[in-house]
Structure 1
Amino acid sequence: MFELFRKSRPYKIRSLHDNRKYGVAARNVKELLKKGCNILELPLSGANLCLYEDGTTVTKEFFGTLPDNTELVVLCKDQTWGGAVCDIAQLLSSDQHTKALVRAAKGLLTGEKSPKRQKILSDLLRTLEDRSELESRDEDEDWFRGVESRFKTKSAYLKYNCESRIRSYMKELDEATKSVQKAKVQKECLQAAESISQMLKLDKYNGCYFDRTQKETQRLCTREGWFTCMGPFDQAKCVSLHSINPYSSRESRILFSTWNLDHRIEKKRTIIPDLLEALQNHTSDDINLTYFYRLLFTRDNLKLVHIVCHKKEAHNVPCDPNKIFKRKRQRKKIRLK
């Protein structure tokens, strides 16, 4: 009897498969369901209400606690609603709403104060604005903003980017050899560095690591351009599952520059010093230069890591002493009869 005298209050309703929402005033669940089914053209038999936010079923008792303009979903018999996340899943499952989502996310991000929500919206925007399927400058001009005009494709630029990183390692080796004081030793060091440099040139500075057009065995990314963090030097994999696609957007391309090709056996602390030390009393012909080349410039010793997984402390991983020098062939002794 009390419900007959209860004042009607406003609510927002929608159906399971329609994003449109309607304002309805009602005193109780029964009245709201009746009006809602009439507006949404749904069968009243077996219908019920739940919260749009999290899918909680609205009972007679619970209804009285709801604030004005609560968003509700009218469900037909056997229908279920898991909450607002269902809307997100439906929107992301199709490219149909991508542009609208981008506009909405940018609008929300403009006035957002919460760092957590800012990150969620930023990550969502990066995902929605994925243009990785485009390759040339003509197709995706925004991606190439700030990139020299001589680069016509994304793959060509990222290949060059990788080559530049590898070349910088060679430069460090060259500078270290030139700093050697003894003339005779320096001569051997320069010769060793030149031999290693020739190996690097033959491998085209291993720019293939970042080039998605290369063979699967040569590149570090998927055919679409996704790179996965290999984890810190002392771990087998990345527990945080960091990943990035620098081919997808200009922002991702710039962020990718913070990822590191990390030497498991360290370049400055171990590899170069060990090479120079070996050359103190030996010629470059005695040294296994291929071993040092592979440690400095190849995936034998390099791991692509997210900046968070790049540990700056000493790795304390030594070179293999059995591989520093070339193995001398055992000469067969011939017995004279």
Structure 2
Amino acid sequence: MEGDSPRMFRVRVPSDAQRFGVAAVSLYQLLTKAARKLKLAERRDGPLRVCLEEDGTEVGDEEYFSVLDRNTCLVILKHNERWTGVGVHAVSHAMVHFERCTHDVLEIFRNDPNGKLTNILKNFLNSIEDCSERESRQDDPTWFEGVENRFKHKREEMRHRCKTRMRGYLSDAVAYKNKVPMEHQKRYEELLQLIRNELKTQCFNQDYFDRSAAVEVRLCDNNGQFSCQGAYNKQDCQYQHKINPYANWESRIQFSVWNLDHRCRTGARQWRW
């Protein structure tokens, strides 16, 4: 990458929200400068790693690093540290308690013959603000909290989020090559190159999350609502899970860990959505 212009990134460590600016032309240079800036250079407890602050996607190679946007927020990790993304910890914690209390809640509603508790729940759900009809930063500033200033409309941020997610999947596939038997690695690299070329041709399928895209391309409806498509080996989701990341800030954050194949990986467990 010699001769490339350096790009500015914002780096931090998991235990401190303060960010520092670092200019780099390569992943290696970023790690070197970040370690110095964050006073991690002297530590010898394993190689440092880099991941996206927003969703925890690991930046594991120069190829993925080369497509990161300027001013991307990155978290520098020691070998034994993990980062699952802004808001993900809260969502995961909530899901644990949701699983534990679902049975008790259903029992309460079954024993509510007059429907009093049901009406209370309906009133509560109706009170949750739904701003999905608003599109611009000016009309719904709360939704854009933590979103880069260059994005002025929700669809722009959602397209960027889709591209980031697809690039993360590609990075995972590249990293998996080390686990492929040597006799199959050449064929695996050929397949990776085909996938890489197709993704670039399709702009990393950025239209998937854009509610203004053509119906046959996007994965949501006109209002921005996504429906769980079920596990990979099922035709659909029996629970009919739905989410609209365009509705409010909370839904946007939750959507960052909402997998469209019905499973979200958190640590060693897999949560059903």
State the TM-score, normalizing by the size of structure 1. Answer: 0.40
Whose relative contact order is higher, 1 or 2, with alpha carbons under 8 Å and at least 6 apart? 2
State the TM-score, normalizing by the size of structure 2. Answer: 0.48
